[in-house]
Structures are given as structure tokens and as C-alpha cells.
Structure 1
């Protein structure tokens, strides 16, 4: 009977359970990274200048170490200290990637919106949202000061200072991603409309300056590689959702039309390119939500067909384009695939694909280090509409993944690992890159929060 119980629970999993689990894991993983890891330049509650109000209690975070930025790499081990868990700083690769940092900041802003729901319901949860808002501002200020090159573009940097010295950085790579600049445009604007924003007009104005640059040099955007273009469009979707800016709308419509034309033009050349198909399908859903419309329905079906063709019924996961005996999978591969087909979840075949890719890919691959315990029964997050009524209790399987140990039991951080390999002949996952990588560990969190929510 010990076997039958878990077996039945696993097979009763639904796409809704999966979405809820991923959203919960993403909230807790980001909280651990941003407040506990110390994997980056940290700040203090005092420097964040958070004002006390009747609805906030910032002192509950006095033992945390809020990040101003996140380093590129670290080991996954948790060290248990006097003031809570943290990571081994000797393992840190003290480089700053724009991608990893902007995904962190956008995710904090998204979660601030989530925790604002608790303003009059739970002081601790609401305070977390306020903390995230202030952290986002401090991070955006930090990027302005330290992550730009002489042309004003945000680029990857390397920390060259030492403990106790003034902050010092050098350019690691003067090349920049256009999609990163777009994501930062979205982050600066999204912060400007945050209820707890300070210097809102300055942030909004700076964000619009970036948009003006894109509209001025629009023709150069058409030269972007497909995946870079799709990430750019995703950033523009986020910006437009926040701003409803007319110029952004015109650019978004234009680029979506271009992306669809490019899909047809390049259809044969990037066959079975799962990441590109997934991103384009996600963008169509985001675009339609923004425009309150149902455009590109034919293309949605074609993309769904492409993604379905990559799915192997025998092993329960999708097979990426490959020319080797081993295929590298990243957390974002699984998350973007699930997010892309999630709107079709009412179709039983698609529902089964979502469940199998989640169980046999994301979970069984070992690409997640540890999984936090579900919220306690006295936590409002455990109840529908936050009622705390027993009849509204949300079952544990909407939070917890039982097959993965907790951070407390394993001393492993609750993170998406960098990658894992799949042996095509043996049909098994192997060679897990069990380390934190800012780009690969935070991007899946960002996708969960913005594309599954």
C-alpha cells in the first residue's frame, strides 16, 4: 500500500496542479536567492529606506541579505548560519550578466504585485511585497550606475573590488543583447507604476527613452535572430501591458506580424526548434491578452502541431533538435514548453503531455535542486480567496513535489540547475550540472511568473 498511494496521487495530477506547484516553487526559489543566498552585492534594510506603516513589519527581514545584483555562478550547497541559510561565497563567480539580473528584477516586481493582495489580510506577506518593490528600485538604480557601457547600453560586467572596498567593475563583454535592453525598459516602467514607487517619473521617462531608441532604429530589429527577436517581443509585451503606450503598441503589432512571417519563411530551416516555437506561441498568447483579441489562431494551431510532433509518447517528453547521442536540456526548455501549450490544456491529449513533460522531464531529470515545504495551514496562501475557511483549504499537491527533498533535509538550494543531459540510446537523464547559473536558474522562474500566472 505504500507504493499504491503515491502512484495514485501522481497520476491524478492535473495541469492546474502543475501550474500551482511551479508558481509556488518560483516564489520560494526567488525568495531564497534574493534574500538568503548572498550570491551578489547585498544591501541592508536601512539602506532600502522602507517606511513603517500599520500594514508593514519590515523587521521580520532583519536577518536577511537583500541582493542589489546577482552573481553569475555558485554552488548549490546551503550553509546553515546563525542568521539563517546562505551559500558558500568561495564558490561565487563574481560576474554580472544583464539577463540574469533583469529577470530577477522583473520577477521581484511581479511578485510584489502578488503580495500586495495581502495588504489588509496578512502583514508579513504584504511586507514581503513592499520589500521586493524597494529591492527592485535599488537594483534598477544599481544597473544604471554600474552595468552600462560608454554608449549607455547595459552590458555584462565583472566585479573587481574586494571585501570592504568601493564597488568596482570592468566590462566582461561589450556586446549586448537587444532583448535585455527591452526587458530593462519593461522593468523600469513596471517599477514606475508600482504603488510603492519612488522617483516614479524619472523611471518612466528613462523607460520611454529606451522605447524611443527602439522606434528610431526599428529597421535594425528585423535583423535579430529569431530567438532573440521572440525574447524582445516578450519584453515589449510586458512593457505594453504596463504602459498601454501607443508607440509601443504600433511596434508590437509590427514585430508580431514580422515574427509570424518569419515563422513561415524559416519553417523548414529550424524544424523541431522547441525553444523558438514555444516562445512564439507564448508571445501570441501574451499579445492576444494585451489586445483583447484572438489573432494568429491558425499559427497557434501550427505551432501546437510542431510542438506535438517533437513529443515522444514512449518516453513522455519532447525531443530537442539534436545531432549527438546526448541532448542538453535546460529548465527553461521544460517550463517554456509547458507554458506554450498550457492554453490548450482542456484537450485531454495536451493535458497528458503537460503532465508527462512535467513529471518525466522537469521533475525526474533532477534539474531542480530541492523543493520547499508547502505553506503552513495558518498561511492565507493555503486557502482559496485567502479565507482561512476549512472548506477553502487548497490541497498540498498544489504546492509540494513529494519526490524532491526539502532544502532543510538536503542542504541543497531550491533552484533550477543549469542543465541536464539526456542519453538518446538509453532514454535516461544524466550529467546534471548541479550548480546555480543566474541566466539558467532565474529565467525559468521569470517564465513561470509571467507566462503561467
Structure 2
């Protein structure tokens, strides 16, 4: 009996295994949504023919690259003689700029992942080429079709029943959102960085810098936005800076983070906005990483301690501040709370200290709660992705639980795409969950998936011995770049640098 091991073993998942599973979930979910769902306006596949010299991924009947994705649908697969994808009758044909910008940023980041398979697995490498081509077409589509007469990105709606040709987009409303512009800025800039030789690269970079300058010039207007909106704007700018190392973005990070700290202290956001309180922690950690402002790290720890106090060790659950017997958790509550603690433990080198808590939270909320409808299959033993360094050697084989838990059901077995449900309800008395219906909200899902890809991609590639090629960085304002990148900013140096930004005469103290 000793040869088959113990009957019962309480395994705690490591940081690396959780990182691997969530990144795998995210990249496969994005692939499903952007290439197989048909939940949006579908591009012609003619230009995708023979993307790779040895394989044509467009031979799949499910290949349907999206120029943009709709707001909502059912995630159930429909298979018939003439159609494969999500149920068209369930589509809500609103088109959000932020959602689509996040989608394009996701496939751009994943194109760098799949580029590592060149000369090893041409089928996987073909996704890199498909994502590059598709991201360019998406960005062209956004600039032409998702802006109003003033050139501002706004939400649109497709009135046509046809998802291929002859679409009819109208303004859903003319409401201006800074976060829409900010996430678009990230997408156009990232394309210019990843593909500097492309003929559109300079134009896309300049376009992204124009958006950045708009955010700088209208900073006072941003201060009037909600806590949630400013958190999203700050996240976009942190993403933008991580790619571009742009000095103006760095100064804006400092200003917005300072402002959010003051705004956060004015109200108890733990009760009504636990999700964006957690996202604020993620922003604080990113802002500290990018600026080395000690106050940002200290505030992150302060809020983290309050978030950690919500954790019930006996139930292995975090309990929202409510007297109700049943607690409703949105997918944002679960994802942002978990990622904040996961990221803090990693950045502060406290993985061992929080290992049990993180593993328990992950199992309870991501695996057992029903918040995720299905989990993508692990790569097979014939797939290069299954081996460190793409060696195909048994000694380099990654275990299945690096990609998924054995107990999770797959999309093919359930006939449903891997998406986050909008919410689940937790019974404190029964210590059990009940889930909402499985409608697909593209904004919530793609926001979560892109955040995971952004935070986890590099570690996943290192763990699988796929080190990322160094990004080409366009060095804007070289002298400031060198000073800011090497020297932590104190309050005095912050004041000197912010003097370079033109201020409105009407500016008042915050």
C-alpha cells in the first residue's frame, strides 16, 4: 500500500500553482472569447489564411476573430450545421470602449507569450501572428467607429442583426468617461511598443501620448469623478507606465494616488465598495513599484490589514461587513480581494506566511463557489506548453495542477465557456455557496482576465522557462526617464517635477 501513497492528503497550493492556473484560465478564456464566441462584430478570415508556414489555424470552423465584443450574452455554446459560437439571440449589442481596449491589450500581451513557440510549435505560434493582425484591425476599428464627432471614445450600439458586414453603429449615449480614454491609451501605446517596425507604430504612439496629455490637462476634472472611476483610470496609467516608462505618466500616477489616499480616508469604502477598495490596494502596490513613494506602500499595508481582518480562519472565508445571514459576492469582490492579498504577499516576500490563507481562499472562491462556469483543459502531453523550456522531456513535464484542478469541469464537458458569473451568494450558517445564472458580462470578465494576465504573465513565463523578450521601450524625455527610473522620489523632488506640468489658474487645494 505504501507505493500508492496516503488516501487523504491536505495539499496547499503554492503561489506558482495558483499563478499557473489563473494565467492558463485567462489566456484560454480570452482565446475563446475573441476567436470562437462570435459575440461581437466578426472580421473576415481571409486575411488570416496561412498565418504560419506549416499550419492554418483558420481551418477550424470555430475561428471567428472579433473586431469588437458585445456587452452581454449567454456563454453557452451553440453547435449546429451552420453556426458555432454563443447564442446570438442572447447578445446585448452594446460596445464599451474600456472593455474592448482591455480585450486588445490582453491579446497583445498574449501575442508575446505565443511568440516564444516559434520553431517549436507552429500551431501555438500562429496565435501570436493572429493576435498581432487582429489587434491592429481592432485598433483601426476603434479609431473609426467608437468615437464621436469630437474624437472621444464613447459607448456604441449595433442596430444591425448582421454581425459580419453592414453593421449599423449608433451612439448609445454621448457620456464621456476618462477610464474609456485611459484604457484605449494603453492599447495603442502597447501596440507601438511591441511592433515598432509597423507602419502605424509612430502614429499609435503619438495618439496614445495625446490621450495622456488630455488626462494631464484635465486632471482637475478627474478629481471630480467617483472613487471607482479614478481607481480604473489609475490602473490604466500604471499599466501604461509599466510599458512606456513615460515621465508624464509617472507624475500623474503620483498625483492621482495621493488624491485617492485622501479621498479614501473621507469615507468607509470597506462596506459598500469592497471590490474597488481591493483594487485600490493593487494600485497602491503598483504605484509604489513605479515611484518608490513610501507613503503608497504604507497605505497599502494599512488597508491590507483591514482586508485581512475580514478573513474567518475557521470558515476559510472573507466575510463582508454585514449583519445579513447571506452575503452576496460579485466576481469583482472575489477577484480583486484575492489578487490584492496575493500580490501583497508576493511583493513583500511573505508567500510562506500567507500560503495557507491564499490557498484556502483560492479553493473556496475560485474552485468551489461556482463563480467560474468551467475551467479549460490542461495542455496534453503532446503539447509543447506542457513542458518547461518546450523540451518535451519527461523530466521537464508540468503537472496537470499547474494548469487546473483535477476536480474542475471543462468547457467541452459542460458546453459552456470559461467565464466568471456576475455573483455568488454565501450562507454563513451552511458555509456554502449558491450561484447566479451564467450570463456573460464582457466588461467584468475581460477586466479580470486582463488584470490577471498583466500581473501574472511574466512569472508564468519564467516558471515555464519562457523568458519574455525585453520590450522595446520608446524613451521619451530621456533625461527625466533616467532620473526618475533610478532615484526614489521624495516629496521635494515630487514638487520639482510637478512644476513641469502646466497648471490651471483656477486650481484649488484638494
TM-score by structure 2 length?
Answer: 0.81
Give the corresponding residue for 1:242: 243
- The structure 2 residue matched to 1:366, chosen from 363, 370, 373, is 370
* C-alpha distance in 2 between matches for 1:298 and 1:170: 46
Contact 2:178 2:215 in 1 (8 A): no
| Structure-2 change in CA distance of 1:53 and 1:444 (3 Å) | closer
Contact 1:310 1:318 in 2 (8 A): yes
Task: Output the aligned Cα RMSD.
Answer: 2.7
Pairs within 5 Å for 1:417-432: 417-432=421-436
Q: For the pair shown, which has the larger CA radius of gyration, 1 or 2?
A: 2
Give the corresponding residue for 2:156: 157
Give the corresponding residue for 2:23: 23
Shifted more, 64-73 versus 191-200: the winner is 191-200
**Are 2:234 and 1:233 aligned?**
yes
Give the corresponding residue for 2:65: 66
**Are 2:103 and 1:99 aligned?**
no
SS at match of 2:67: coil
**Are 2:455 and 1:451 aligned?**
yes
Give CA deviations for 1:381-427 in whole Å, capped at 9, x if unaligned.
11222222211111110112223211111111121222222234544
Give CA deviations for 1:95-117 in whole Å, capped at 9, x if unaligned.
21223222211111111111122
Contact 1:156 1:171 in 2 (8 A): yes
How far apart are residue 194 of structure 1 and its match? 2.1
Give the corresponding residue for 1:139: 138
Give CA deviations for 1:345-371 in whole Å, capped at 9, x if unaligned.
534452222112211112211111111
Contact 1:63 1:83 in 2 (8 A): no
* C-alpha distance in 1 between matches for 2:7 and 2:222: 50
**Are 2:108 and 1:109 aligned?**
yes
* C-alpha distance in 2 between matches for 1:292 and 1:127: 39
How far apart are residue 82 of structure 1 and its match? 5.5
Shifted more, 252-261 versus 363-372: the winner is 252-261
Shifted more, 234-243 versus 81-90: the winner is 81-90
SS at match of 1:230: helix
**Residue ranges of structure 1 left out of the alignment (5+ in a row):** none
Contact 1:372 1:414 in 2 (8 A): yes
Pairs within 5 Å for 1:340-355: 340-342=340-342, 343-344=344-345, 346-355=350-359
How far apart are residue 197 of structure 1 and its match? 4.2
* C-alpha distance in 2 between matches for 1:362 and 1:332: 12
Give CA deviations for 1:313-355 in whole Å, capped at 9, x if unaligned.
2322222344755433232322222221124153445222211
Pairs within 5 Å for 1:158-173: 158-163=157-162, 166-173=166-173
How far apart are residue 57 of structure 1 and its match? 4.8
* C-alpha distance in 2 between matches for 1:5 and 1:367: 31
How far apart are residue 291 of structure 1 and its match? 4.4
| Structure-2 change in CA distance of 1:118 and 1:401 (3 Å) | same
Contact 1:191 1:200 in 2 (8 A): yes
* C-alpha distance in 2 between matches for 1:31 and 1:52: 16
Shifted more, 319-328 versus 69-78: the winner is 319-328
* C-alpha distance in 1 between matches for 2:74 and 2:356: 34
How far apart are residue 81 of structure 1 and its match? 4.3
* C-alpha distance in 1 between matches for 2:19 and 2:59: 29
Contact 1:185 1:211 in 2 (8 A): yes
Give the corresponding residue for 2:219: 218
| Structure-2 change in CA distance of 1:224 and 1:128 (3 Å) | same
How far apart are residue 375 of structure 1 and its match? 0.3
Count of residue correspondences: 447
How far apart are residue 92 of structure 1 and its match? 1.3
**Residue ranges of structure 2 left out of the alignment (5+ in a row):** 458-510
| Structure-2 change in CA distance of 1:359 and 1:63 (3 Å) | closer
Pairs within 5 Å for 1:296-375: 296-322=296-322, 324-342=324-342, 343-344=344-345, 346-375=350-379
* C-alpha distance in 1 between matches for 2:199 and 2:56: 19
| Structure-2 change in CA distance of 1:15 and 1:174 (3 Å) | same
- The structure 1 residue matched to 2:396, chosen from 389, 392, 399, is 392
* C-alpha distance in 1 between matches for 2:373 and 2:172: 29
How far apart are residue 120 of structure 1 and its match? 3.5
* C-alpha distance in 1 between matches for 2:147 and 2:311: 42
| Structure-2 change in CA distance of 1:35 and 1:314 (3 Å) | same
How far apart are residue 131 of structure 1 and its match? 0.8
Contact 2:21 2:401 in 1 (8 A): yes
Give CA deviations for 1:132-158 in whole Å, capped at 9, x if unaligned.
121111112222222222332222221
* C-alpha distance in 1 between matches for 2:54 and 2:221: 48
How far apart are residue 191 of structure 1 and its match? 1.1
SS at match of 1:207: helix
